[in-house]
Amino acid sequence: MTNKALSLTAAGVETEVMPVRGRVVKSKGMRDLLTFLMVFGPGLIVMVADNDAGAVSTYSQAGAQYGTHLLWIVLLLLPVCYFIQEMVVRLGIATGKGHAAMIYQRFGKWWGLFSLVDLQLVNFLTLVTEFAAINLALTKMGVDPRYGVPLAAVGLVFLVMTGSYRRWERTVVFLCLLDFAWFAIAFRLGPPLGQIVKHALVPSLPAGGITPELMFLVIAIVGTTIAPWQLFFQQSCIADKRLRFADLKWARLDTFLGACVTITAAVCMMIAGAASHTHGFRFTDPAQMAADIGTFAGPVMRNLILLMMINAAVLGTTAISLSSAWAYGEVRGWPHSLQLPWREARGFYSLYLLSVAAAAGIVLIPRAPLQLIILGVQVLAGVILPSAIIFLQLLLNDKELLGEYANKPWNNWVNWTIISVLFILSLILAAQVAAPNLFPSAAGGPTT
Amino acid sequence: MATMANPIDMQAGKDHFVVVHPLDDVLETKVDMDALGPMPMTRSVRVSLLSLRAYLILMVLLVVYHVVMLAR
């Protein structure tokens, strides 16, 4: 329906506007609920997509090696990922621009190019690992990956090329909601509830205490929960959705709920890993873990875990490819919106298509150096995460840019603490990967 | 500078409210990035960027060390 309403522009000028479509509701409660549902999306998507194939692997390995002992670390990451992404929400709503464009404009060409190239590289390598996971899961399900992987790639391309942001968002939110299947998996396989609650709320160490292997896994968990592409993705997504200042509180709620869902799903993945360990299986990869679980929980459970692994990789792929395409489009000044049809944003869609097609193609090459690619992802992620977060923190303290939306002193205390910890962990992780001889006993650590 | 727009665009009358999807709403005026130009190089910004450069140099050295070790 069409309605006439009053609006204040950001400059404070009252204007009469004619919204194209609006919905009339009779109570404030319904107004709030409907507004939230309209704003809802970017926060949930960025958080759930962060539980990509690499995350499934890391969390299930943590469970397979240390049972439920590391649940409290995952729970600690809930406020961390919320605080970081909340800053992105403020930045996106206040400026209406993407993160890459902002770094370019506020810090100059050198830092802009550095961030962009680093992001594109690490994103592409991560995409290869997503398709490698699809390949692995399809093979375990008895589907020929030579057909399955290209089919997944074609589906991912069609998902974004509808010329409608809303259509893309609804489909991806549906895929995100499928993540609730992890709850069913954990419920079916899980240890007693008391043990889960105890290990989630009371910090404890597994038998053997702090070892280099444990440290490496903890760093991998942190690294997989907070990824650089998330900053770029959510800000661009908010800009593309054209969220308004009045939407800020709902966008924060969206992000918080997304953080709760992703952390709970991570806990469930860890519980699944712990179940395979309890039955005496040794962890090699999540697809094998699913097959192992199938031997005592039945084929339905095996196929469900494999399907969830594919879903995680699909969500990761669409979000990561979009963060690359949005970032490149912003910096180059190309039209870069999911609202645009192909003919009006050829560069933006071509970049998405190329990255998806190339990543899928590499996975299908026999004897492709996947281990080298995973190593590259770890090193580059170690480089880009502290850089991206430093830029984010500086931008959030930029009163000229954000005015009343700039960080408050308490925000800065929290954020600098998070940044310091991330900096140290990223440095240790990257040092471990780049120079394994520095930590000889930690060789053969997990992949992220 | 960005300012909070009054959410009265969702209120069309006293007994009912009109809720508009962000994509259907009129474009909101945001901060003009082009007019702002580059960020002023205050001491904290300079120290942060210098620390970042030092961190990146250290990372490059680690990778070079790794390559040298592999080559030996």
In chain B, which residues have their Cβ closer than 8 Å to the Cβ of A20?
Answer: 24
The values of phi and psi at residue A24, to 5°, are -95, 130
In chain A, which residues have their Cβ closer than 8 Å to the Cβ of B15?
Answer: 26
Taking domain A43-442, whether its CATH number is 1.10.1040.10 is answered by no
In chain B, which residues have their Cβ closer than 8 Å to the Cβ of A31?
Answer: 10, 17, 19
Pairing of strands A14-17, A23-25: unpaired
Break chain A into its structural domains and give their ranges: 43-442
Identify the residue among A18, A162, A237, A242 best suited for mutation to test binding to B, counting B beta carbons within 10 A and taking the highest. Answer: A242
Give the residue, A190 or A342, on which the prediction is more confident: A342
Judged against a pLDDT cut of 50, whether residue A361 lies above it is answered with yes
Can you read off the two tokens belonging to residue B2?
């960005």
pTM for the full predicted model: 0.89
B57 at the A interface (CB within 8 A)? no
| Average confidence score pLDDT of chain A | 87
Predicted pLDDT at A52: 92
Q: Cβ–Cβ of A95/B24 closer than 8 Å?
A: no
In chain A, which residues have their Cβ closer than 8 Å to the Cβ of B29?
Answer: 9-11
Query: Angle at Cα A195 formed by Cα A56 and Cα A210, nearest 5°?
Result: 65
**Model pLDDT for residues A198-241, shown as the tens digit of each residue:** 998 998 888 877 777 787 788 888 878 888 899 999 999 999 99
In chain A, which residues have their Cβ closer than 8 Å to the Cβ of B38?
Answer: 105-108
- Of A112, A91, A117, A86, the C-alpha closest to A100 is A112
**Model pLDDT for residues A234-243, shown as the tens digit of each residue:** 999 999 999 9
**Model pLDDT for residues A230-279, shown as the tens digit of each residue:** 999 999 999 999 999 999 999 999 999 999 999 999 999 999 999 998 99
pLDDT, mean of residues A404-410 = 93
Nearest-CB residue to A244 (from B22, B36, B39): B22
A vs B: CB pairs below 8 A: 199
ipTM of the complex: 0.83
The share of chain A scoring above pLDDT 70, in percent, equals 90
Helix (H) or strand (E) holding B47: helix B43-71
Task: Give the residue on A whose Cα is nearest the Cα of B30.
Answer: A95
Nearest-CB residue to A394 (from B4, B9, B48): B48
Q: Cβ–Cβ of A402/B2 closer than 8 Å?
A: yes
Q: Bin A164: left if φ > 0, else alpha if -120 < ψ < 50, else beta.
A: beta
Q: Cβ–Cβ of A95/B31 closer than 8 Å?
A: yes
Range list of H helices, A333-369: 346-364
In chain A, which residues have their Cβ closer than 8 Å to the Cβ of B18?
Answer: 3, 5, 19, 22-24
